[in-house]
Each structure stands twice: as structure tokens, then as C-alpha cells.
Chains A and B, each alone.
Chain A
Amino acid sequence: MCGLCGVLGGAAHWSEGIGGRDGSGTARPWLRRQARQRSVALANEILRRHRVTVRDWQGTSFTVTGPTGRVEIAADLGELWVRVQAVTGRPLDPLDPALLEALDG
């Protein structure tokens, strides 16, 4: 349980523990940090056109800030997209051709 906010720890997200440049997964703290930083950078690229900003929060959660300044906390990548919908008021669709065109640059 997080001593600060009293949130009970959930199950690990399915994507955790894989990755890292030397193939050792994300067991080592710096590799975990690196993976989180890259997740944040990628999420911000994906969400740029929706004026949503994602930040790492204490290495344990993500904060999601919407175009109106509303802030939500996401525990993991699965919850991230739910929070994005909460701050933008609409779901993000990974199959939306307009989004894909924007991503392809």
C-alpha cells in the first residue's frame, strides 16, 4: 500500500517485467526508469494532438493532464487510457485513421 495516498497495490500490468536494452527485463531500477520514461515520451507523442500531457509520478503512477487543466492519476498503462478519456471527454481510438496519419507524420 502506498503510504502517501493509501492506495492498495494492484496486480502488475501485463507489460511489466519485459524489455530493457540488455534483455534483462525491467528488474533493475534504472531499466525500469528508462522504460517508464520511454512510455511517457511515447504517450505524449500519441496524445499531442489532443493536448494531453502525461508525466511519471514518483515512478509508481502517471499523471494525465487534459486541455482544460484537469489532472487524473493512472496506476499503470492499462488505466492510462481510461484517464485520458476522463480528461478529454472522449475515448482515444487506436484504429482512428486520423490518429494513424498523425502518428505516421
Chain B
Amino acid sequence: MDETAPIPVNIVTGFLGSGKTTLLRHVLAHPAFARAAVLINEFGEIGLDHLLVERLDPSTVLMESGCICCTLQEDLRTGLRNLHARRARGEVPRFDRVIIETTGLADPAPVMATVMNDTMLRHHMRIGSVVATVDAVNAPTSLGRFAESRKQVALADRVLLTKVDIADEAQCVRAHEHVAALNPHARIERTVQGAAGPDVLAGIGSADPAERSAEARRWLDAALSGRARLRTGPAPEIARARLARFHGEDGTEADEVRTLVVTLDEPVEWTAFGLWLSLLVERHGDKILRLKALLNVEGSPTPVVVHGVHALLHPAEHLERWLDEGRQSLLVFIVQGLSPALLERSLRSFLKLGARVREAETAGQA
């Protein structure tokens, strides 16, 4: 391992009782995670999660109180800084990954923000993939009733449907549909007793170019199939109605989570896109739960990936090569309380302006 490379920080999230700890216990038993450090927080008086996870990993740091995301960002920041300092001093094993388990009621976004915004942490750590567990039996209830649960799914790169051994097939399919409707780019998998392979924590932010490309391919396929299913798909009427409800297409719920998938055939003028997205996240960052874009940038031979959460955008990066010959740009936004149609119109207006300015520039040089 390159000792100077930023350490990936994975986030394991999921609603109360959805199997986060079971997943962690399984994942941590795999040799690939022998050098992972685990940060958990105690929620409530029992601290059950702590008791279970601590036995697995001696470098577990227990947060002092409450919920990581709402009240303990400073604790998380301090916890991560201390962990890194102890690693540098040789007081703890040289861990090569940090896994943060959030509470069942947590919003993962502030956790990501803590790592990405801290002046010290952002140089030593990077956000890896976010994994959410969803109980297949109770998915309609938790996703239907609790905004926290929807947010966790919307932010995830991967969603693991848990308890599929006690759910029947119809429940599993329904849970899958709910998740896919909330997050069209997530990779959704079924697990029994947390049994997931080591690649469950791999992600698009990986230092490995091949892994980055493979991850891009996965979410691209998921996004396109999700869109097809939503707009035209063979989904039965009842499922389509449910998808529409989750996408807020009936327009009745202003704060409902909605998804926008845009494809662009023309190459993207990067400056216009940069200005547009900067302005969008500055003005509406609180309503953008997640965004991922694979862009055919004008003049660039390879695709550019942009992804972020709220107003937090990871530095844009080039992938090694195009995944297909089409070279179509694809953008996926998961938003809350924003009109997808207006968002798309705005993007296209800014890009058109970019093309006009570029043409004027070229004409001026000729």
C-alpha cells in the first residue's frame, strides 16, 4: 500500500435494526479488512453496537455521547484526528481504512462533511463508498415513514437488502423497488446475515483507476436501468405508482425525495458546467442529497467524474477511458424539494450559454 495515499473512510449507515453491525461483523472478519479501524458511536444507554464491534477491533474508538451526525461532529473530527495521530506515532496499528458506523437515525452527510472540510483530515483521508443497509421486511415502513431512512438510502453508493432469509420474494422485490426509486445509481444487493464480499466497501473514490472505472460502469448501468424502469419500463402499474410517489411526480409533497437523470449528447463546456454547479450548490446545496455525473467534457479524451453530497463536491477527476462508444454524458441528481424539470432546464440553459461564449471566443480568434 502507498503509505502517502489518503486513507479511505467508509460509512456504514442504515435504519435502526437494519443490520449494520451484523454487516460490519462479517466484513471485518475478512482478511482484506484486517487493518481497518472502526469508529462507532453509542446511541442511547445500552451501547449495544459498541459492545459488539469493540470485540472485533482493538482500535475502535467510542464516541463519547449521542449521535455522531447531529451533535458530535466535533467529536468525530477529534476522534479521526486522534486516530490518525496515534497511527503516525505507532501507538495503534497502521490501519489502511477507517469505517464509521452511523446510528440508525443519523444523516450521513455531516459525517462526510467532517472529513471533506477539515483542513487536516482532507489531506490524509478521503471519503470512500457509503453503504446503507435496508431491512427487506420492514423497508416500506422505514422508507415510507422516516426521512432519515430515505436520506441514508439516497446518499448510499451501495444498498444491502438485509434479512432476505426471513422475507418472502415479494417483500424483497418491493424493498428493491423502493430503494431503486429513491436512488437510481446505487448498487442494490441482497445479503443474508451480513454476508457481503470485501468489495462491498470499494468505491468510485478509490485510488485504483480500474476500480474507479468499474464503479462508474456499475452506477451508470444502474442509473440508466432505473430511468428506463421509471419512464417506460415493464414495471406493473402498482409498482409504477409507487415509483411515482417516491419520485414526487404527483407534485404533492414539496419535501419529497426526487430523482433527475439527464443524458447529454453534446460534449459539455466545462467552464459553464463549473459555474452552473457552483451556483446550484451554493444556492440549493441543502436540497441536493446526492449528485453523480459522468461527463464528456469538450476537448477531453477521457470521461470526467463529478460527485458530491449537498454543497460538498469531490474534486473532479478523469477516468482512464470511456466505458462505451456512445460517450454520452450522464448526470444523476437526488434532490429534496427541488423541481427536477427546472433543474434540467437550468443546466441546459447554462450549457447553451457556455457554447455561445465559446463560439464567440473562437470567432474572435479567427
Contacts and interface: CB of A to CB of B under 8 A. Distances in A.
- Does A associate with B in a complex? yes
B297 A42 contact: no
Interface string B335-366: 00011001101100110111011100100000
Contact of A82 (B282, B318, B338): B282
Given A42-B353, A45-B353, A23 B275 contact: no
Interface string B112-155: 00000001001000000000000000000000000000000000
Interface string B7-22: 0000000000000000
B352 A103 contact: yes
Contacts of A92: 279, 283
A21 B278 contact: no
A92 B284 CA distance: 11
Given A92-B279, A92-B283, A17 B350 contact: no
Contacts of B298: 19, 21
Central interface residue in B276, B278, B339, by most chain A CB within 10 Å = B278
Interface residues of A, number: 37
Interface in A62-105: 77-78, 80-82, 91-95, 97, 100, 103-105
Interface stretch (B72-80, B87-95, B240-248, B301-309): B301-309
Contacts of A13: 278
B181 to A, nearest CB: 23
A80 B274 CA distance: 12
Given A39-B274, A95-B342, A12 B279 contact: no
Given A92-B279, A95-B343, A21 B352 contact: no
B314 interface: yes
Given A18-B316, A22-B299, A103-B350, A77 B278 contact: yes
Contacts of B306: 14
A76 B350 CA distance: 19
A38 B282 contact: no
A94 B280 contact: yes
A67 to B, nearest CB: 19
A38 B283 contact: no
Given A45-B353, A92-B283, A94-B283, A17 B316 contact: yes
B297 A19 contact: yes
18 contacts: A14-B313, A14-B315, A15-B273, A23-B300, A23-B301, A35-B271, A46-B275, A46-B350, A46-B353, A77-B275, A81-B278, A94-B280, A94-B283, A94-B346, A94-B350, A97-B342, A100-B345, A100-B346
Given A20-B299, A81-B279, A105-B356, 5 more contacts: A15-B278, A19-B298, A46-B350, A91-B283, A95-B342
